[in-house]
Structure 1
């Protein structure tokens, strides 16, 4: 795991110079095309899995507008570095709690792709869904954006297949039942399936199950 993320950080730093040398196989691009043709924008979910930054770069090049919501780094130098690396041509980034909700809706109104990394502990604001058999507080923003806009939701993962070789998989998220928990569980399960196939490519450093369901329920009862 450490070797994988060390290599991918170096790869991330080397973009865009190394971009043309990368071999990227795209599966499910037709789903993205179909969703964009609806004109409602696309809610694009991924997790801290594989080379998610590489996938963001591809989305920025492939679509007219791709914007992601990020958490501002406490270190100004680090924050500037990551912002410059991510805001390559075709890609925008805005920060949580800095009018990010309004900006997110603007992206969808412009038929853009809204990128959300939705696999960190969401504390009391999250919805509890199963992740590897245990309940985990999960960001529910993607589901809420869908319920408010009817924009389609999809899941993406960028899997490293070899040296400078990647496979991007794009899949639909089931929104047939208009329920936050149902939608969140669907994309969380998809992420789990990817991780089970390539566990070394998941960022296990996060305290994913930090917020306990029992403590959350007991606090709400007080």
Structure 2
């Protein structure tokens, strides 16, 4: 075994042991721990802090600098909580995870679609704890989601087991996976899509996200066009009381912006981003702002297209 493989193996064992330990803790305890560790992440995690604050300047220009700084600080506490809650979502006794979900809002959107014989596409942005959302969906519906193995390969069995243990079907992030999503929707089942991840150049269009062009995946309109599925946005929101204590989670399903059903990919992509914005409005601090949502630019796309034409006709 090479030194790199030995290091990865040790790292995987340490992470798995930590998840197993944290699985025995309650969401309230994990939130208290996040409130202690989050400020350290904000202070020492330069990359996370800078990207978060840059994104917040773009999307909330009317906020004063102190308010944006406070929002960025709180967002990184929530992101820390999400990482600490992974063991709970994947490894805790199912009854404990189910009991931590205090309410489910908008379930009728899924039930009505399935009663009509239609599949449901759940847009699950990086808000709150999306692993708790996955747990609930796969506990109550036939559910399929795309899955990309982790960079630390030794963690793959544990993560896959955690996500599949309530019946979810995980499919690869390629054409074979898309075919599986189509089959599930035609069976009137539910599928999950992450709407706020930046796709490859071949898989997206630019659409406004908080009034600035963001490269957005076009998988959704392709699935809708071929299956007539209903689209909803789903999140697992942390319930934080007035004393800043966690009371568990609430699941929210929101009706999609009607533009997601548009035939034009650019219009549908704008609808997808509007769905993400509506979810964020539930509590902006619970969104994972440290993701570089504006990394690709229209100018880069133009250069990329010209480079491809050069290669083709050279």
Same fold (TM over 0.5): yes
The total of aligned residue pairs comes to 221
* Structure 2 residues without counterparts, runs of 5 or longer: 1-74, 241-245, 310-314
The 1:193/1:109 distance shift into structure 2, 3 A limit, reads closer
2:237 is matched with which residue: 159, 162, 173?
Answer: 159
1:10 aligns with 84
2:272 is matched with which residue: 177, 182, 187?
Answer: 187
Aligned to 1:137, the other structure's residue is in SS state strand
How big is each residue's C-alpha offset from its partner over 1:83-102, in whole Å with a ceiling of 9 and x where there is no partner?
Answer: 11111222121121271112
After superposition, the CA RMSD in angstroms is 1.9
Instruction: Tell me if structure 1 keeps the 8 A contact 2:198–2:217.
Output: yes
* Structure 1 residues without counterparts, runs of 5 or longer: none
Q: Give distance in 2, aligned partners of 1:118 and 1:71.
A: 15
Aligned to 2:85, the other structure's residue is in SS state helix
What is the CA distance between 1:31 and its match in structure 2?
1.0
Confirm whether residue 121 of structure 1 aligns to residue 216 of structure 2.
no
1:144 aligns with 222
Q: Give distance in 1, aligned partners of 2:132 and 2:266.
A: 29
2:104 aligns with 26
The 1:98/1:88 distance shift into structure 2, 3 A limit, reads farther
How big is each residue's C-alpha offset from its partner over 1:13-71, in whole Å with a ceiling of 9 and x where there is no partner?
Answer: 123323143033111111111111122311111111111111111111111x1011122
1:204 is matched with which residue: 248, 266, 289?
Answer: 289
Larger relative contact order (CA 8 Å, sep ≥ 6): 1
Moved over 3 A (4+): none
Larger radius of gyration: 2
When normalised by structure 1's length, the TM-score is 0.90
- Going by fraction, where is helix more abundant, 1 or 2? 2
When normalised by structure 2's length, the TM-score is 0.65
What is the CA distance between 1:3 and its match in structure 2?
2.4
What is the CA distance between 1:214 and its match in structure 2?
2.1
What is the CA distance between 1:176 and its match in structure 2?
5.0
1:89 aligns with 166
What is the CA distance between 1:79 and its match in structure 2?
2.2
What is the CA distance between 1:196 and its match in structure 2?
4.3
2:54 aligns with none
Instruction: Tell me if structure 1 keeps the 8 A contact 2:133–2:236.
Output: yes
